[in-house]
Structures are given as C-alpha cells and as structure tokens.
C-alpha cells in the first residue's frame, strides 16, 4: 500500500484509484458475508486488484484504438 501511495501522483490516486476503491468497498459490503474479517478483507483487496487490472486493460485497449484511428 505504501508503494501505491508513494509511486502514484495525487491526480492518479484521486481520478483512478479512489473510484476503484469505492466500487470495491461497495461490492465487498453488499456481497461478502464470510463472518471473518480476514476473509472479507482479502476478498475486498482481490476485488480492488481485479478492478484495477480491468481498468488498466480497458485503458490500454482504448488508447490503442485511438492510436489506430489517428493513423488512418
């Protein structure tokens, strides 16, 4: 977590990671009822990781599509 905060700019943290964190928190609160703090925290962190990976994949896909459109 420290590395995340240290390496990312304030803009990246607020515009990219904060919405993903909030979405992951909402998903965890609504659906994860393991009756174990450790399991629910782990599931929340994995959800945040998966949302981040999906965000990065979509971002690169749209960037590539935009570059291809500009070349034409």
Q: Quote the CA–CA distance of 23 and 2 in Å, as a whole number.
A: 21
Domain ranges of the chain: 2-71
Instruction: Note the pLDDT tens digit of each residue in 26-48.
Output: 999 999 999 999 999 999 999 99
Helix (H, G, I), strand (E, B) or coil at 51: helix
pLDDT at 61: 94
**Percentage of the chain modeled with pLDDT above 70:** 99
pLDDT reported for residue 1: 72
What's the CA gap between 40 and 33, in Å, rounded? Answer: 7
Q: Which residue reads 């034409």 in tokens?
A: 72
């Amino acid at each position: 977590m420290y590395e995340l905060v240290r390496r990312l700019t304030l803009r990246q943290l607020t515009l990219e990671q904060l919405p993903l964190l909030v979405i992951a928190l909402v998903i965890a609160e609504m659906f994860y009822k393991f009756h174990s703090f450790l399991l629910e925290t782990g599931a929340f962190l994995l959800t945040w990781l998966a949302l981040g990976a999906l965000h990065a994949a979509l971002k690169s896909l749209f960037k590539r599509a935009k570059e291809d459109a500009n070349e034409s």
